[in-house]
Amino acid sequence: FVCFRTEFIKKMLNIDRLNPLSIATEIKGYDYNGVKKYRSCSSEDKSALEYNTILFPINIDGNHWALAVIVTKEMKIIYYDSNGCVGHVYLNHLLQWIVDESLEKYNIQIDKSMWTFEHAACPQQQNGSDCGVFVCLYAHYLLHSMEMTFTQQHITDSNIRTTIAVALLQHSVAHVSAI
C-alpha cells in the first residue's frame, strides 16, 4: 500500500480557501500539473500506480475527514465517509489522475469505463468530532484486511485516540490494535 498526504487532493483539485476565516472552499478544477511530480508517503522510488492499494485522506472544507482508496488490481475507487456523504467529485478526479498518471509515467491509455466507484458501507459516527478517528480506523482495518466492526461506542469508550497518537509518534501502524 501507499498513502498520500492530504494536500495531494487540495493540489489536484486546485482548491483555495475563499476566506482564511471561513471554512468554505472553492474548487477551481482538476489540475494534473499540480500533482504531476507529487510523491507519495512511500520511501520507495516507484509510481504510486505500482501499488495495489493507494490511500487518500481527504479534508473537506476544513471540518470533515473522509478516505478515498484506489484498488488498482480491481480497478475501483472506494469512498469511505463516516457521515455517509457521497464523494463523486473526488472519485471522478482521482480516476482522471489515474488516466493522466498512466499516460505520463507509462505511456498507457486507461479506459475509464473499466473502472468502478464504490461508496463503502462503513461504520458511521454519531457525533461531530470523530471523523478523523474513523478515517484512521478505516485505513487500519483495510490495510490489515479486517472487517470493520467498530462503532461510535468503541471510539467513545476506548483510548483509541491515544493509541493512534502513540502509533503515529512511533511511526508504526502495528501498535494500533483492533477494537
3-state SS string over the chain?
Answer: CEECCCHHHHHHCCEEECCCCCCCEEECCCCHHHCCCCCCCCCCCCCHHHCCEEEEEEEECCCEEEEEEEECCCCEEEEECCCCCCCHHHHHHHHHHHHHHHHHHHCCCCCHHHCEEEECCCCCCCCCCCHHHHHHHHHHHHHCCCCCCCCHHHHHHCCHHHHHHHHHHCCCHHHCCCC
Residues forming the active site = 64, 81, 131
